[in-house]
Every structure is written in structure tokens, then in C-alpha cells.
């Protein structure tokens, strides 16, 4: 009787370990973490990380890359408060939040730099997404070099797709939202806080 119970406990533990490893594999394969998304991968849960102590904020490393609509982007061109969104076209949460980001850009685009970082697509696929969702700010294609993704390593890695990072007026990381934003309230608050500093 006791041996049978021990076998059941061992089987349950094995199943749990397999499930955890499977989720971890999805996370590392897709570069995302958090709750399960519509496409069967792990996505961020909208968790917000803030860095309120300005003295302890750190700027990402310089990065560059080809723009979706042609030309080259260099992070040295960012001037003031900036919203950086990591995305790709087939990511269901990215499609959910795209209209929210378009709305935020319409409201704050004169005061805040907006930059998309496409982590998987080619120019044609990314441009189709931008047109479909009315995205008017630039995106760089980061799949080949991952320069933009690596620029934040050691500070606040964009380890979920989508991830949105707010940089303060000095170009330092002020906040990150891991996962899709479903309305403008969180990012509006974060942007206003930085604009009012």
C-alpha cells in the first residue's frame, strides 16, 4: 500500500517536472515568458517593472539596425523620453496591443520617441503589419543581429514578446511592461511620469 502511494507521488512529480520543462522549452525557444498565449507559446503577463530611483537607472548599450521602410537606425538619434516595443507580426499578443500603441503614438508622438523592434520578420511582413494596424512610428529589423535585444542585457532584458520599455529623458531604462498592454492607461501613466520629471 505504501509502495503504491510512493509510486503515485513519484509519477505526479515526474509529470510536474515534464510540464515545467516543456514550458521552459517554449520560453527559451520563443524568447518569451509568463502566461500561455493563443499560439501555444509562453507570453508575458503584463507585469510592470519600474525603476523609480533615477540615480540607479542605467542606459542600454548603443544599437542600430535596418529600418522596416528602408535606411538605417542608430539609437543615438533618440532624443528624450522614448517608448521601445519589441514585437513580431505573427505574435497574437502583439496584434492585440498594436492598436493601443497606435493610439498612444497619436497622443504622445510629438513629445515621445517611439521605436518598434521587430525580433523575427523581414521588411515586407513587418510593413504589412504596420499598415494593417496603423503603426506610424519606425521599427528596426533585429532578427539577424539582435543588437537591440542585447543592448538591454543586464538591465532589464525584453524576455517576453511583446515587451515595452520606457526610457527616461536621459535615455535610461525607467520601466518595462512584460507582455501585451490591452489599454493605454499603464503606458500613459509611465510616459506622463517621465515627461513631468
Cell, residue 51: 525603476
Find all residues with CB under 8 Å of 186, minimum gap 6, and list them. 46, 48, 177
Mean pLDDT confidence for 103-108: 98
pLDDT at residue 99, rounded to an integer: 97
Mean pLDDT confidence for 115-130: 97
Spatial contact of 188 and 104, defined as CB atoms under 8 Å apart: yes
Give the CA angle between residues 83, 50, 65 to the nearest 5°.
30
Q: CB 2: neighbour CB atoms within 10 A?
A: 6
pLDDT at residue 157, rounded to an integer: 73
Query: Tell me: the pLDDT tens digits for 146-169?
Result: 999 999 998 887 778 999 999 999
Find all residues with CB under 8 Å of 91, minimum gap 6, and list them. 37, 39, 43, 161, 162
Average pLDDT, the chain: 82
Q: Return the half-sphere exposure (C-beta side, CA atoms, 13 A cut-off) of residue 54.
A: 7
The answer to whether residue 28 scores a pLDDT higher than 90 is no
| pTM metric for this prediction | 0.78
From CA 151, how far away is CA 66, in angstroms rounded? Answer: 16
> Which DSSP state fits 41?
S
From CA 78, how far away is CA 58, in angstroms rounded? Answer: 15
Amino acid at each position: 500500500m505504501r509502495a503504491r502511494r510512493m509510486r503515485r507521488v513519484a509519477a505526479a512529480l515526474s509529470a510536474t517536472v515534464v510540464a515545467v520543462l516543456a514550458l521552459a522549452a517554449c520560453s527559451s525557444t520563443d524568447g518569451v515568458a509568463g502566461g500561455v498565449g493563443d499560439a501555444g507559446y509562453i507570453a508575458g503577463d503584463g507585469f510592470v517593472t519600474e525603476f523609480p530611483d533615477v540615480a540607479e537607472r542605467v542606459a542600454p548599450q548603443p544599437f542600430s539596425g535596418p529600418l522596416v521602410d528602408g535606411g538605417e537606425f542608430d539609437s543615438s538619434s533618440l532624443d528624450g523620453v522614448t517608448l521601445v516595443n519589441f514585437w513580431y507580426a505573427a505574435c497574437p499578443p502583439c496584434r492585440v496591443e498594436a492598436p493601443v500603441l497606435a493610439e498612444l503614438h497619436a497622443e504622445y508622438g510629438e513629445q515621445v520617441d517611439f521605436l518598434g523592434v521587430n525580433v523575427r520578420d523581414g521588411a515586407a511582413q513587418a510593413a504589412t503589419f504596420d499598415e494593417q494596424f496603423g503603426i506610424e512610428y519606425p521599427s528596426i529589423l533585429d532578427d539577424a543581429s539582435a543588437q537591440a535585444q542585447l543592448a538591454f542585457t543586464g538591465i532589464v532584458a525584453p524576455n517576453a514578446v511583446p515587451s515595452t520599455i520606457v526610457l527616461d529623458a536621459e535615455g535610461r531604462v525607467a520601466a518595462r511592461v512584460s507582455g501585451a498592454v490591452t489599454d493605454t492607461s499603464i503606458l500613459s501613466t509611465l510616459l506622463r511620469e517621465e515627461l513631468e520629471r
